[in-house]
Amino acid sequence: MATLGVNIDHIANVRQARQTYEPDPVQFAFLAELGGADSITVHLREDRRHIQDRDIFLLKDTIKTKLNLEMAATEEMLKISKKLLPDYVTLVPEKREEITTEGGLDVKNKKSYLKDYVSSLKNSNIEVSAFIDPENEQINSSGEIGFDFIELHTGRYAEFKGQEQIVELSKIIESTYHANDLGLIVNAGHGLNYQNVKKIASINNINELNIGHSIVSRALAVGLKKAVSEMKALISTN
């Protein structure tokens, strides 16, 4: 059964819209845990558009579950993560002009750089994941680099309908088994919501689903604790 990682970046988005102190994503992480979150995910971006440095250090000190730090593979983020020591780091691609992450990290063509980068993180006892598209070349490269996890990008699955979605789901299933054969633990996320999550959650050997936007959107109506609890129930009924 997959566990649930709750991304609270969008709570920080609301705060930063007014450049004020509320809503505080650290307080909302507590509500997410009360709702059943198994981990808390935050993306510390280069431009600090939502999550701030202060947030990640407070989260590390206060949450009771696990902290997953999403970040670009830069020298600045390497230094921060080694100081923070999150439970694990997920390396993601990052462009300043994007609204949200648009696709997986191209580990295949950055193998040499990422091998040293991942090794440095693991030397600090930080487990490392790569957010990648469900493609065998990217999975193979992730294994060769030394990642502990991969997180399969489910964005296309979420966008597609009908037969196209069925095909994309098949790719995700095949990628999960292929990664498992290489000894990689498989997470998944991006674009998952209350309508499309069950088929992904039913895939054998998916370790964790990372979901943010849909849960925070639902929380506007019912509150964060209940929104997380409802999502947890959906991914647990397999």
> Could you confirm whether 75 is annotated as catalytic?
no
DSSP character string of 88-130: EEEE----TT-SS--S----GGGHHHHHHHHHHHHHTT-EEEE
The residue type of 200 is I
What backbone torsions phi and psi does residue 229 show, to the nearest 5 degrees? -60, -40
Closest Cα partner for 188 from 108, 131, 128, 107?
131
Closest Cα partner for 235 from 182, 175, 190, 194?
194
> Could you confirm whether 43 is annotated as catalytic?
yes
- Cα separation, 27 vs 21, in Å, equals 11
> Could you confirm whether 50 is annotated as catalytic?
no
Closest Cα partner for 184 from 152, 147, 210, 134?
147
Q: Considering 10, 50, 153, 190, which one is annotated as catalytic?
A: 190
Q: What region does 48 belong to: left with phi over 0, alpha with psi -120 to 50, or beta? A: left
DSSP character string of 53-76: HHHHHHHHHH-SSEEEEEE-S-HH
Q: Considering 10, 43, 50, 153, which one is annotated as catalytic?
A: 43
Q: Considering 33, 70, 168, 208, which one is annotated as catalytic?
A: 70
Residues acting as catalytic residues = 43, 70, 190
